[in-house]
Structure 1
Amino acid sequence: MFRFDPDRALSLLDAYALRPGDSRLGFAVHYWGITPRHYDNPVHKHSFYEICYVLDGTGSYMDDGHWHPLGPGTLFCSRPGVLHQIRSEAGMYLLFVAFEVDERVSDPGAVRTYRSLRATDRIVLPDADTVSAALLWRSLMLMLERPPGLRESALAGTAFALLLSFRDAFRASDEDEGGDPGDVPLRKSAHQLLNRALVFIKDNLSQPLALETVARYLHVSGRHLSRLFARELGLSYVHYVRRERIRHATELLDYTDMTVQQVADAAGFASVHYFTRVFARETGCPPGKYRQRGRSGGDGDGAAAPLPVRRERV
């Protein structure tokens, strides 16, 4: 398969590819594996990730009680804390690596992004020889065949690219695949997606803004968008939209002479009664009383001069 002694190759990886990383994201590799004949192992779990690549042979893989067939070209992912097992009667040529993100040297945003791999529903990738992760893994193996010299310098960089590629290869099936597979730390596309969602909400507060409607506009699933809000803002999508509606309503009450009904419509509430109830719950008083309190603190005669309607929305 490869023209190297597996033990010698593993020694090189242990010497040069146990701490791959850059200024934003670092990995700690527990071990690399090159096993020309991998048979059965017991049911077990790890506190770290373990990714395997089948070069030859057949077998099966159990992940969290579910069995998957394995064959040449299959990539599969063992997630932290999940019981798993490999079985093969005839043996498989298996490459594998066990690793985790080194949080001590990594940007918190990069750590959060890579950590989403824990929740992926894509565990086994059959016929993955043309996936970037498989190509990088083969490139790494081919480097081990080359004579000493620049090879050692290239091993760490290629190992880093390989570990990064796993996040893209095993991304959840409902995630937007428009991002760059090599983007470190893959946070840029998520940040841009969130910004687009926030701008769309701000510009359309008078509309219903159902989660699925906004998700379709952004070409992602509702589940993915909901997770994005929770991860990046610490709020549910519904909570965020309701907060923005109330914020916009307070601005209209403070700075315009729009009626309460008009404010309710402009802020996207289905009825003035529902608006009054939600506004009172969020601010501590109903809209009319809120406006009176604000304007009683205006000029000396208790009447605040109305300001023009804000023109931010399209």
Structure 2
Amino acid sequence: MLSHSVYSRSNLYLNQNLVQLKGATASIFVHYWGAKPQHKGNSPHAHSFFEICYVVEGEGVYSHDGVTYPLRAGTLYCSKPESRHYIQSEEGMLLLFLALEPISSESSQTFMRDFEQLCSYPHLFIPNADQTAPMLIWQALLIQASDSSIRYRESLEQLAYSLIISCISLFLHHCRSGDTATSATGSELQGTLKMAKAYIQTNLSNKIVLSDVAQSLHLSERQLSRLIAEELGQSFPSIVKTERIKRAAYLLGYTDIPLKKIAEDTGFESIHYFTQVFTREMGTPPSSFRKKCLNSASVDAWIHKYLEQVATRYQKYKQQDRPD
């Protein structure tokens, strides 16, 4: 851990000098840099930009759109634009953070698509990020920015740009590692289907009916149902169930939220029904799943296996439906 003087001096330099970062792929506006010792929390709020945070020391909780996550040393997480969130800590945490948004007119289409992809994931939360590339770059950046005899500003600009790009890459990799099996249907999930899936993911804690989703997309129920069946080989209830199970698995693996609350957050009418469906789909009860998932890799492996089964069902449907 660095000294408090390093954090304060680097804070001053970064906020005065590294506001707009530009590289070959993207141009990024940084609203603020921060390093706050003894951070005990804040009130629920939302903002229009991304905020990436890293816990250096201490413990607390992070609430994002009604879902609560445990914070410990080594945790990296990101709040998304317009999401309602807050943190709390009884003893206080040493927290690093930076707020940013891409300048779309000066960034590549690929980079902007990556940002859109991040917005579609419900959980930008990595519990064991202490030895990852972004964290090592962040430490190097703070050490150099605190040096009063800085000679080459461009080296700091390159470090700061690399930090942000590597954070985005790490979040994308972490999220996709649990969602790789859906890549078989990736090309089909465009336009209407992509919006339908986004609606489902956003409303998982509520009762989701076909008519509401169709109305939000300005389609008839019959049109949406046929589109889902023809393109994905699934029924509407099957898609909703898949998203509920996937979300529940993430919450079981990455948080300490009680099973009853997870059942509520993922839209199951009772903990008994949640346990029944989860066990049938994942091959193990929720409580056993939590015990077996000792780290993020094991969580992702379980979820990946489940999504592979869903993708396999989709492929079989497409092969059966293919004309000779």
**Is residue 226 of structure 1 aligned with residue 185 of structure 2?**
yes
In structure 1, the partner of 2:69 is 68
After TM superposition, the score normalised by the length of structure 1 is 0.57
SS in 2 for 1:10: helix
8 Å CA contact 2:9–2:146 kept in 1: the answer is no
Deviation at 1:176, TM superposition (A): 5.5
**Structural mapping, 1:151-300, within 5 Å:** 151-171=152-172, 175=176, 220-222=180-182, 224-231=183-190
Deviation at 1:145, TM superposition (A): 3.3
Deviation at 1:116, TM superposition (A): 0.9
Q: Distance in 2 between matches of 1:271 and 1:10?
A: 60
Q: Distance in 2 between matches of 1:65 and 1:173?
A: 22
Deviation at 1:21, TM superposition (A): 2.1
Percentage of pairs with the same residue: 28
In structure 2, the partner of 1:2 is 2
Q: Distance in 2 between matches of 1:12 and 1:89?
A: 30
SS in 2 for 1:148: coil
Letter of the structure 2 residue corresponding to residue 28 of structure 1: F
Letter of the structure 1 residue corresponding to residue 111 of structure 2: A
Letter of the structure 1 residue corresponding to residue 2 of structure 2: F
CA gap of 1:163–1:33, structure 2 versus 1, over 3 A, is same
Q: Distance in 2 between matches of 1:100 and 1:164?
A: 12
8 Å CA contact 2:124–2:175 kept in 1: the answer is no
Letter of the structure 1 residue corresponding to residue 56 of structure 2: L
CA gap of 1:34–1:151, structure 2 versus 1, over 3 A, is farther
Q: Distance in 1 between matches of 2:184 and 2:54?
A: 31
CA gap of 1:142–1:81, structure 2 versus 1, over 3 A, is same
**Is residue 30 of structure 1 aligned with residue 31 of structure 2?**
yes
RMSD: 3.3
After TM superposition, the score normalised by the length of structure 2 is 0.56
Q: List per-residue Cα deviations over 1:157-179 (Å, max 9, x = no partner).
A: 111111111222222656259xx
8 Å CA contact 1:26–1:102 kept in 2: the answer is yes
In structure 2, the partner of 1:52 is 53
Q: Distance in 1 between matches of 2:54 and 2:320?
A: 53
Structure 1, gaps ≥5 residues long? 178-218, 242-267, 276-314
In structure 1, the partner of 2:147 is 146
Q: Distance in 1 between matches of 2:175 and 2:161?
A: 26
In structure 1, the partner of 2:41 is 40
SS in 1 for 2:90: coil
In structure 2, the partner of 1:97 is 98
Question: Which shows bigger deviation, 123-132 or 3-12?
Answer: 3-12
Equivalent residues, number: 207
Q: Distance in 2 between matches of 1:39 and 1:70?
A: 12
SS in 2 for 1:47: coil
Q: Distance in 2 between matches of 1:271 and 1:158?
A: 51
Higher-Rg structure is 1
